[in-house]
Amino acid sequence: MPFLKKIFRFLRSMVFGMILLGLIILCCLAGSLIPQGESEMTYVRQYGSGTAMLFLSLGFTDIFHTWYFTVLEALLCGNLILCSILRFPAARKTMAGLKAQAEHADPAQEHPLEPGGAETVLAALKRARFRGNDRILTRNGIGACGSFLVHLSILVILLFGTLTLTTPVTQDVTVMPGETFTLADGTTVTCLSFRIQDETGRLDYASRIRVASPGEETGAEAEIRVNEPLRHGGTKVYQYTYGTKPVIRVTNTASGAEESFYVDAGDFLSIDGRNGLIFDALHPGYILNEDGTYTLITSSAMSYADPVYDVRTVSDGSITSVLAFPGETITIGDIGYTMADPVEYPGLRIKQTAPVLYAGLYFGFGLMIAALFLCFFMVPACARVEENGFVIRSAKPQDALLDEIAIALDGTDKKGDAP
């Protein structure tokens, strides 16, 4: 089957690997230049209907999750396995190959030595970390594994990276201070407190969180903030966002009963269903104009420095809009509605995943950095020293080493300022 052999040879070739990398670059370019994951209308508005439809049909609007990007990644994995990993035995023979080359070279012709010079060269080579017998010396033999380990680490990263991106169960939840959220597996996440600023007034979104696995009484408790999530078993809780919730305290002046409510826009607080208070909005603050009137700040991106409640009273069929500050009470019949201080709360991201997957991913990261170091800075070399000369064989030029030997031999530096 020469045709199949040809195809197999191409699939395991470096050229095929380079083609795959080139195609991945093209996908990345498209994925970074075309906004990803937007609605269809957004693309139609931005590019016109023809181009938008083309992008949508080709999957350019979510390119990193298309079948062809997945196929590219799978082919790259296959190429890495066939091209590099299965060739590891060849890498192990690198040093043997260098030794054979050194054995077949003619030292007297390449780097001739004066009588007695061999001892000096040997001493210089040993200073340069060459080890071996008196004739054949080698260094950085481990560097021959560098290329293999780099490719192996890419495979480890692709495998564990895919698993860590696809398997976790992630959900974003809002947990008011003092409340508990229960996950599907019974794990509980309790928010004990939340603050936006630290003691010095510096922005520092921090929540005190307790996480307990099913059946566990105490669990783990810690203050989380951006960059400092809480990990407990396979559950990780992140300080993800925050918000401000308006609170209205309702008091029945007749009975003395009192209850506080977190309210959302449009909520109608009423006892009899006819009279009561409609909550419309909480504004972060206001600006006092020169003429004594107020202009409300409506941007929710602001901190709620001087909050203003925007409500409507409903009394005997008439509706009246009212602005109220925290502490103010609006009375409708026997019911008092007191605007309380708004409560700041955290938005938490809860992720459940197997910690071993991240261990595998981080192992891949460490392995690649170590392997690249081996590749670039631990280049295998072999030297053969005879009485009449010496040779050095390596995959890369050894100019610096030759200079050191030259200095040792005659005490002069061959290097000068080169223009």
What minimum distance in Å lies between the beta carbon of 102 and other proteins? 21
**SS3 letters across 52-97:** HHHHHHHCHHHHHHCHHHHHHHHHHHHHHHHHCHHHHHHHHCHHHH
Cβ nearer to other proteins, comparing 102 with 371: 371
Give the strand order in the sheet containing 318-324: 268-270, 276-283, 308-315, 318-324
Cβ nearer to other proteins, comparing 163 with 340: 163
Between CA 57 and CA 64, with CA 58 as vertex, the angle to 5 degrees is: 120
What minimum distance in Å lies between the beta carbon of 276 and other proteins? 40
What minimum distance in Å lies between the beta carbon of 215 and other proteins? 26
The tokens describing 319, both together, are 């509706």
Cβ nearer to other proteins, comparing 155 with 323: 155
Cβ nearer to other proteins, comparing 23 with 332: 23
> How many whole angstroms separate alpha carbon 223 and alpha carbon 220?
10
The tokens describing 258, both together, are 């009192």
List of residues contacting other proteins (CB under 8 A): 14, 17-18, 21-22, 24-25, 28-29, 31-33, 36, 64, 161, 164-165, 170, 202-205, 225-229, 236, 238, 240, 349, 351, 358, 361-362, 365, 368-369, 372-373, 375-377, 395, 397, 399, 415-419
Cβ nearer to other proteins, comparing 56 with 375: 375
What minimum distance in Å lies between the beta carbon of 240 and other proteins? 7
What minimum distance in Å lies between the beta carbon of 28 and other proteins? 5
Place of tokens 């890369």: 396
Structure-derived torsion over alpha carbons of residues 353, 359, 360, 362, reported in degrees to the nearest 10: 120
Q: Cβ neighbours of residue 85 under 8 Å, at least 6 residues apart? A: 148, 151, 152, 155
Cβ nearer to other proteins, comparing 30 with 405: 30
Q: Cβ neighbours of residue 46 under 8 Å, at least 6 residues apart? A: 35, 52
What minimum distance in Å lies between the beta carbon of 372 and other proteins? 5
